[in-house]
A and B are shown apart, each in its own frame.
Chain A
């Protein structure tokens, strides 16, 4: 399908600056994410990686304005096409959600309301944002489902979520997300709940979206392999802070942060002999309320020094990469 979309302006599509989310806990404020900054250009696919609990979903939901835990505080700035989203009125945010920014969640099994047909739910989103009759909406729905590679889309649209397989359901979820031609798609671990062959198909689908729909994608995953295959650039999160950012190729070739290195070491190499045992990262990432002072990774880092008890700033590390490590510029982190 040929969709007309405005050709890229020099302005970035999404500009996140100093985004912090904190929550009060036992009388003190605990930061879930801290000073997250990045930009996303049109048609770019940005991978957001990190271990479980590193704040990936919090970042994404904060951008969407979907965080509603009482007491939660969001500071910083999220600019979408120049429009500030933090503090935007609920009504205006609603108009953007689903139409300009769409989100796909981790588990397709529970993403649909169980009591309506899949088609009804996609129609609903279309009709919430555009003046279309149900019939017209359904036409678009069927067309979208077909584009997502759903066999027999007319019939599938009339089926209930529980009647579809996981892969089909995730395709339907993506169809729903794309139903209003969003310029930005946030996909929060879209393949984690699926089996491997389906995973590959869905990723393939997502990476073609920029051509078919002209969408930029913020792809959240904890799988470095997925990033390597699909993303243009990468941002590595550790315990709510940016550990490293950069273009995917550069970052994979020369990781500057020991955490990135460790992450890359823990996936099997694509070529050559497989090691009989993959190195795991010892220990677990700290929970937000027990984050150590200074570099959050230092307790698990082989090369930690006294200086690591202060927070390392995110600094350029060559090749357009940035890393939050005092030893990044020397580039001597390979083990």
Chain B
């Protein structure tokens, strides 16, 4: 354990601060493992089409209820007689242990392994975009409220309080249900109901109060800081103060919030998709896949468990990374808390 004996008070985060943080982070085994896991999962999802075409030779989207595959020289039906005592109905093939249908099929006879990768693309894309959009909006709100203070701050803070009083998922559900059938029309722009932008915007919106508060807090502290006062006294224009003194410091908060927000967004996206309010068929996400597996939970649990595990791994990795970043950049109380 090393202890910093005297940390000089530096005005703006210098390059060395970031370098120092990077060094701390690189030395943190937990964070590095998490980062590696994330990279592998992202890469795998990006390679989904290659996997489907060249490895599994299956189609992740077309229903394949009547099909069959060849395993160990035998032709096997994808939908098989149920192995429950009554032998009623058909259930999809379980994990095969071969490249084709590695994890078995879902109720539509589609390859789960391939779908997992395709679904991951949507889940990861939506959560990453939602996190970025949310950070952007929160910065806008937080910096405005924190920097200008007074009545602007009161109004914005009250607004955030009001938004935060509605349970996050319920809020997201309400917004989704409004848009799920007819999409969204903002002036001349129309966003179709099945556009992935809709879940992205909704998730980003509902987490704005969560992220805006730490940003605002940070800006409030900075506004009082000596170097900002000094810059103001020197007659530096406001936009320059905001851009060169405030924003670089806020960036620290944003970097720490980023992974945590993405984790929250991923959970929210999966919940919405699970309720059929997020990603719309035929597109898949890990949330819709869990829903697909709900009916098969007792006969073919892997259908729901596999995407769930994928979510757990990614969210866990993101949380670990977020913790590591927070420790490396050493801002306490920057995050309100996860919900």
Contacts and interface: CB of A to CB of B under 8 A. Distances in A.
Contacts of A30: 5
Interface string A249-290: 000000000000000000000000000000000000001110
B5 A287 contact: yes
Contacts of B6: 287, 289
Interface of A: 23-27, 30, 69-71, 287-289
Interface in B1-29: 1-6
B5 A69 contact: no
Contacts of B2: 24-27
A103 to B, nearest CB: 23
B7 to A, nearest CB: 11
Contacts of A24: 1-3
B3 to A, nearest CB: 6
Nearest to B5: A289
A289 B4 CA distance: 10
Contacts of A289: 5-6
| Binding site secondary structure of chain B | loop
A70 B5 contact: no
Interface residues of B, number: 6
Contacts of B1: 24, 70-71
Interface in B123-160: none
B19 to A, nearest CB: 15
A330 B4 CA distance: 41
A69 B6 CA distance: 15
B59 to A, nearest CB: 57
Contacts of A23: 3
A71 B3 CA distance: 9
A30 B3 CA distance: 10
Nearest 10 Cβ contacts at the A-B interface: A71-B1, A70-B1, A289-B5, A287-B6, A25-B2, A26-B2, A287-B5, A25-B3, A25-B5, A23-B3
A289 B1 CA distance: 16
Interface in B170-211: none
A1 B232 CA distance: 61
Nearest to A72: B3
Interface string B301-333: 000000000000000000000000000000000
Contacts of B3: 23-25, 69, 71
Contacts of A26: 2
A27 B3 CA distance: 10
Nearest to A69: B3
A287 B5 CA distance: 8
Nearest to A28: B2
Contacts of B4: 25
Choose among B1, B2, B3, B6 the residue with the greatest number of A CB atoms under 10 Å from its CB: B3
20 contacts: A23-B3, A24-B1, A24-B2, A24-B3, A25-B2, A25-B3, A25-B4, A25-B5, A26-B2, A27-B2, A30-B5, A69-B3, A70-B1, A71-B1, A71-B3, A287-B5, A287-B6, A288-B5, A289-B5, A289-B6
